[in-house]
């Protein structure tokens, strides 16, 4: 695991975008795994800038998102479909036919999850998976206690995650209780992982991820087992690390 500590969130975003852009230039038909949430927003802004000013070409890229709330239609302004189109996809030249995001309205969730896994395999696997991290150590919506071998499935969100995400809804009761999420095992199958974190609120989770024992109680700790994982953090998120990086 390569741990990169930057001064600021802006630098985290730029370094992340540089790594994604390098891959897109090297392999124009690569498969990218995307995350939602506040953390990757700066990186997405930088990718949009690179597309507009430097001609970074996403036309052949296939994308898979980590997760989606169950029960929210794609046009709901808190759905992860909406988030991805608003914050990235409609501002770059991604081909809609190559965009995959879990369907929160799927009639048969189990069947959908199997289909989603099959599409990842059919696309040749994910070349680079972008990850954020929850303050409780979740990756995607794999909450503490998730099987480290899990695949795409429905998960119940913990109270702390629903509380953290309540800021995007009018009140906490409106935060969906369930999500479809890639499993920890699905994420670990990606050829490269790029985990970003910013702010002191993530410091304990980052310390556990980089230095703690591997445990399902901090799902992100499994990243230690990945052969090609890069963790990019700012100073506040790195503040509880004890080793020198």
Residues engaged in binding ligand F6R (CB under 6 A): 35-39, 66-67, 132-134, 138-140
- From the candidates 117, 127, 143, 234, which is the catalytic residue? 143
The residue (of 60 and 212) whose beta carbon lies closer to ligand F6R is 212
- From the candidates 138, 142, 226, 234, which is the catalytic residue? 138
- What CA–CA distance (Å, rounded) separates 99 from 65? 8
51 is annotated as an active-site residue: no
- What CA–CA distance (Å, rounded) separates 33 from 191? 11
Q: Residue 67 has which token pair?
A: 């997760």
Distances, alpha carbon 119 to alpha carbons 98, 115, 155, 158, 174, in Å: 10, 6, 20, 28, 31
- From the candidates 46, 65, 67, 68, which is the catalytic residue? 67
The residue (of 36 and 62) whose beta carbon lies closer to ligand F6R is 36
114 is annotated as an active-site residue: no
93 is annotated as an active-site residue: no
Find the shortest distance in angstroms from Cβ 19 to ligand F6R: 17
Find the shortest distance in angstroms from Cβ 35 to ligand F6R: 4
Find the shortest distance in angstroms from Cβ 54 to ligand F6R: 26
In residues, how long is the chain?
245
- From the candidates 65, 68, 81, 136, which is the catalytic residue? 136
Distances, alpha carbon 11 to alpha carbons 22, 171, 232, 233, 235, in Å: 16, 33, 9, 9, 11
The residue (of 43 and 94) whose beta carbon lies closer to ligand F6R is 43
Between helix 9-26 and helix 41-54 the angle, nearest 10°, is 50
22 is annotated as an active-site residue: no
The residue (of 57 and 189) whose beta carbon lies closer to ligand F6R is 189
- What CA–CA distance (Å, rounded) separates 147 from 26? 34
- What CA–CA distance (Å, rounded) separates 192 from 53? 26
The residue (of 60 and 76) whose beta carbon lies closer to ligand F6R is 76
Find the shortest distance in angstroms from Cβ 25 to ligand F6R: 25
Distances, alpha carbon 209 to alpha carbons 1, 82, 144, in Å: 10, 30, 13
- What CA–CA distance (Å, rounded) separates 187 from 175? 24
CB closest to ligand F6R, residue no:
132
Burial class from Cβ neighbours inside 10 Å (0-12, 13-18, 19+) for residue 122 reads: exposed
Find the shortest distance in angstroms from Cβ 118 to ligand F6R: 21
Active site residues: 67, 136, 138, 143
């Amino acid at each position: 695991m390569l741990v990169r500590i930057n001064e600021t969130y802006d630098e985290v975003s730029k370094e992340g975008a540089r790594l994604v852009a390098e891959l897109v230039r090297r392999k124009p038909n690569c498969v990218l795994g995307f995350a939602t949430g506040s953390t990757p927003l700066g990186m997405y802004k930088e990718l949009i800038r690179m597309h507009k000013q430097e001609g970074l070409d996403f036309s052949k890229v296939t994308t898979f998102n980590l997760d989606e709330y169950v029960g929210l239609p794609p046009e709901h302004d808190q759905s992860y479909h909406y988030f991805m189109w608003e914050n990235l996809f409609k501002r770059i030249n991604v081909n809609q036919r190559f965009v995959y995001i879990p369907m929160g309205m799927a009639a048969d969730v189990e069947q959908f999850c199997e289909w989603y896994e099959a599409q990842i395999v059919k696309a040749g696997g994910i070349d680079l998976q972008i990850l954020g991290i929850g303050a409780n150590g979740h990756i995607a919506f794999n909450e503490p206690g998730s099987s480290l071998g899990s695949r795409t499935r429905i998960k119940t969100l913990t109270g702390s995650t629903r509380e953290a995400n309540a800021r995007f809804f009018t009140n906490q009761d409106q935060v969906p209780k369930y999500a479809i999420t890639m499993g920890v095992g699905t994420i670990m199958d990606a050829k490269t992982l790029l985990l970003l974190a910013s702010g002191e609120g993530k410091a304990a989770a980052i310390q556990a991820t980089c230095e703690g024992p591997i445990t399902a109680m901090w799902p992100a700790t499994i990243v230690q087992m990945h052969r090609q994982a890069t963790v990019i953090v700012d100073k506040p998120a790195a503040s509880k690390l004890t080793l020198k990086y």
